[in-house]
Structure 1
Amino acid sequence: MLASAGYDGTVRIWDPITGALYTELYGHIGGVNALCTINVDGRALLVSASNDQTVRIWDPVTRAQRHQLDGQYDYGVNALCTITVDGHVLVVSAGFSRTLQIWNPVTGTPHHQFDADTHWIRALCTITVDGQTLLASADNAGTIRTWDPVTGAQQHQLNYHMHSGMSALCPVTVDGRTLLASAGDDGTVRIWDPATETQHHQLDGHTSRIQALCTIAVDGQSLLASAGDDRTVRIWNPATETQPEQLDGHTHWIRALCTITVDGHALLAYAGDDQTIRIWDPATGTQHHQLDDHTGYGVNALCTVTVDGQTLLASAGNDSTVRIWNPATETQPEQLDGHTGGVNALCTINVGGQTLLASAGHDGTVRIWDPATGTQHHQLNGHTYGVNALCAITVNEQPMLASTGYDRTVRIWSPTTGTQYRQLDGHTHWVNALCTITVDGEALLASAGYGGTVRIWDPTTGTQRHQLDGHAGRIQALSTIFVDGQTLLASAGDDRTVRIWNPATWRCLWTIPVHHQVLACGVITDSLVIGMDVGLIAIDVAGGRGLSGSGSGR
């Protein structure tokens, strides 16, 4: 199982294989800053520490709280670790009180406490030096100290992170020796020999504060991973000071993504607030193309469009334009002007054997274009505020276009005549996302938005079939996916989760934590791709089984 916690004060336990939420542990009345596991009498327990100034020990199987450890804390507890003393596994906690408190997890009573005489303690770990197990702490002033957990005596002091708060510590093995890795607000990772109090290496690369460190074994070699506010995860070889891998996010929020085939290769196009469109090979992680002509603040929508048998890419943004690109040559054959505000959504629709392009935006209009000539066929007026999402749907064997937005309505249009076919009312908040889903051969329409609910509609009758509750915040994106021959529905949003729904029962199959706000989602090859405020991730929803599909959100 996997445990997570955060500012909402809850501890959640997940099944990492299925993505399902196993249980939630309630008790803290402040944000949870740290977690660790501990084995007591052969049973794995979970320890949490919080801004409510408590440390709590939980049995994750029974969901019961074993102990609440109330120490002499000011404001909150920032760090936890376990340490073995005289054959007994104990819990160590520290925080704003500048003391180190050692607890007996069996009885829930204090074992030892000593004054660290430092600034706020932000990180803890254990390390073996000359055969002795010591406790390492790092404080807000950038000083690392090691302590004898039995006597409380300070053994070593490493203070070269001058004027830079420490945020992470972990032991790392280099050439058979146990060294100590540290990271902090200065953006560096430093490798220390605590026995000699000397710094062996300094790893430079992060451009802002580092928040986390851990070791990872690759091909039998111990490497070091770091993550920070520059939105990158970096993998280091601590022995050589080299960086074998860097996992980058986009430089700004990613608001749109879609798949596109270029020269026979399935590629991923995505775009966001930095005004660029980037096209990547998801198999190799290399960027193939970058399209830069949008102005204003950000690109909001992407979709592929076929023109004269060639697959092109359409983009739209806050500069009020829709642009048609040839991704192979990085040229822009057409620019579609007409919207008087930012454009939020795009989709293609087939009318009479001709592929047309629909766009919608802040001006409250939906426009239908011929992407080959750049001419506007229709302007659909009816929404009273901005339009956020579009998708094509078949109703009574006729191609239709669905739109939704800030007026809380879902509207269905005839792209042939430019008239409104039906209006679907029910949402009580702004609506951000639409997609079609086929259930038992019937095309239904899914919509979602600020209310945190997904609604399933029959577009023929205009009736609401189902309401899917579960998200704890605004939903930003919807997508259909196919798993083992079955059509499922994915939803994602501000509560930092992706939920997978089974349309046979309309129950949530999996809740997948992604830890960041989700702005877009889609499917490429065997993965559900999520665009977030910090970058992209790809999720194999089927856990290694076949997966493909398509979707549209904002």
Structure 2
Amino acid sequence: MRLWDGESGALLGEPYRGHEGAAWTLTSVLMPTESGFPESPWIVSGGIDGRIHLWHPLTAESSQIMATEGGPVRGLCPLRIDKDESAQGGDLVASAGSDGVIRVWNPASGDLVGTLHGHIGAVRHLATLPLPADSGTVRSAGLSSLIVSAGSDGTVRTWDVGDMTPVGPPLTGHIGTVFGACGFTVAARPVWDSAVWIASAGGDATVRVWHVTQREAPVGQGMQTDDPIYSLAVVDEDTHDGGLKPSVITGSASGAVTVWDPGCGRVLAELGHVMAGPIHALCPLPRERGTSPGFAAGAEDGAIHFWSLDGHHHRTITAAHDGQVHGLAVVNAPSKADPARQMALLVSAGGDGLLKVWDLGRPDSEPLTIEAHQGPAVSVAAVPAPGSGSLVASGGADGLVRVWDAVDGRSVMSPGRGHIGTVNSVSTIPAPARSSPEAPYTWLVSCGSDRTVRLWDVASGEEVLEPLQGHTGPVFAADCFTEPSGENRLATVGGDGTVRLWDLARADQEPHQILAHVGEVHAIRSLARGTSGVGTPLLVTAGDDSVVRLFDPTRTEPVGDPLSPRAVVSLHSDAQMVDSTAEYVVRADGSLAVWRPEDARLTRIPAPLNVAHLASLSGDLGQQPGTASPLEPVHAIVSTNGTTVFQRRGSEEISAARRITDRAPTSILSWPERPARLLFGLATGEVGIWEPAQEHPLVRAHNGPVTSLARIKHIGASGVLVSAGDDGKLRMWNPTTLAPMSEPLQAHPGRIWSLAVANTSRRLLTSGSDGSVRIWHLEHDAFQQIGILTGHSGDVHPLATFSLPDGRDAVLTGGHDGTIKAWNIDAEVCLTTMFLGMPIHALGAVADAGDESAHRFVTVGTSRGIISATFSLGPTGPTPSSAATQVSLSVRSRSR
């Protein structure tokens, strides 16, 4: 860093040296002098090394160094303090880190004053926000300005640093990263009625203007209202090999129920707005082997609805409660009339303060009613206990935690008193083995609006630990998970947008914290066997930002992308079907559409519900005579349950639906040499072939889901099939018999996301969760790695190969870090990077501009929809004039 005279342009003093790496941001603060006032200006710098330096402006000496421990410092701004509130005078300084935390410092002492949490991902910019003198309660005592922050999560936020709290909800509307924001005042008529505004600039090529107090955007596109998710349930479904695979069910603020496959992020069933008002209660139902799994949902009008996992509605208990159904739980108990009969009891908690116990085996029987709470009964949970399987716990708006016998309705625990305000949820956790020899078998966990989590001895009703404190907002839910070491841990979520992980045997230690969502987190559940029924336990969370997120609690980090109905699952280019610039789009809600980037049009195609994959076929598909030419190209539209419908151009069905597999395919591939053949991979790790009127056995290929398939046509007479898996392995197969042609190769240390074949050199490319793209040469029975591309800061998901102007092979890579990179495969160098600021799910075919220029077009699928991007390449890479890559953001697709 250097200091210059602004008038003469002369260099003043010596260079400022001290950062290890680049210095990314600068500001100035007023520091108290030895005599007190007036203050003198000092320079503050933040760098890639995560350090903040305080510099004397003329001597270039650093008198204070503050380490953020939050990664590179991306933003700094001063906080002016009124002199009557600061005996020493001087400023505070706020810093923004790559970890999403805003920290406030006293630069004179180097002390950390406080922290602000809310952004998910890096905070890209900070600025002071001036307020008029008559701003009233919005303005904190002692501060003459607030601050505004812009983040890679697409939000703009304002903060009151006086009490370390946000001012109002986040400003949402940008698509992708917001790179900058500033505040300004506008003098109105009359002049004393001045207004304060915020301007923000995003990677979506828009500038938005917001009113600070009214929270609205008066120019450009209006703010979009999302549908918050209030409830979660996990249902295990039988797999073909006798295992269990979890499905996640969510209930929203508008009464919509959605069933997700957490392994691939697709919607398995979307029930729409089937109930009036928000759904706060979901519960899996017991079932006999061979029957379809089901769940119960509680409605705002007091009804309880029963559904199967495929979206079939079974029955409704109308007016189960006089008020909203807040909680549901299933307990098993022996029948008093017939001890040999095991009863499955559904316990509901309602706004009328009652618990009701329903015998699921006798739908017409009257329920047992328990007068549980003064005010609404907010939550209910089954309590496993030695010698009794019929205990159930409840929490209420009266602040009490209670335990009942669900068979006779008697109270079995003295009311737990300790929470101030509503008990939002109750759950259980096995007592830590290290707690004490006298510890009960199970502890009861309660989460309160008073920001505490409390643990109770079921027998005595006494608290077993000091209240767990750490959340900065209401605590809404908790669940336990088991680490690979066998230790049980507690995970809690709350209004501060975080997940906190607690070791109850060391409750005096600070919990691990994960910034999980934008806004409140309402629900959490554990997937004890991972997404495919085996493997590392995962946590599933949902909240106000309308997405479902998966987290690995052992590494305290997200797994994959958030699940959202808007997410683009795949893009499919086929010049035979429509013009070459169009893309077929499969979205997570199971819809199918055509995207034409030249006019930014997204046209929905009538198709079966819950589309999972799309492939192009021709040949004799067994259609009815006269309905289509045997060689006419058709689409094979594969649903999440393995059913396939064949459609001609124009969306006309040419045959009845066919079942190609009895499970949800995770990948699919057509084979031009056999124009009526489909190859597919399954979550069970198997690979299969479908052809009309022929049966082929499934072949075990991978330990875990098959993530991608590719056709290598230059090996052998009919080419070879390559499969990649969640286990990080590559395998080669005969495409006709599925006989193995190679030994399994551990190609990546983690999941392989995608496969692609270079246009001219026939090399295979693989992208993985390790952040790399690997280049392979294929022999007849072996893979040989010949190169590697590194540069993404997270998982690399989609690949799209294309040719450079000189004919050499290139590839586009899409990352979970929100970037798209273009690479020269031969030189193994990155040619250009496009910053979109949101995870990249899919890339379409790379197309030329058609005007003999070096411009290229690509369609990008993200968690929020479709983006059309352009980038420019010179003869062998980016030309000097195109160092700043152009990205054109055309329109976002909508899921409904």
TM-score normalised according to structure 1 size: 0.49
Structure richer in strand, relative to its length: 1
TM-score normalised according to structure 2 size: 0.32
Higher relative contact order (CA 8 A, sep 6+): 1
Larger-Rg structure: 2
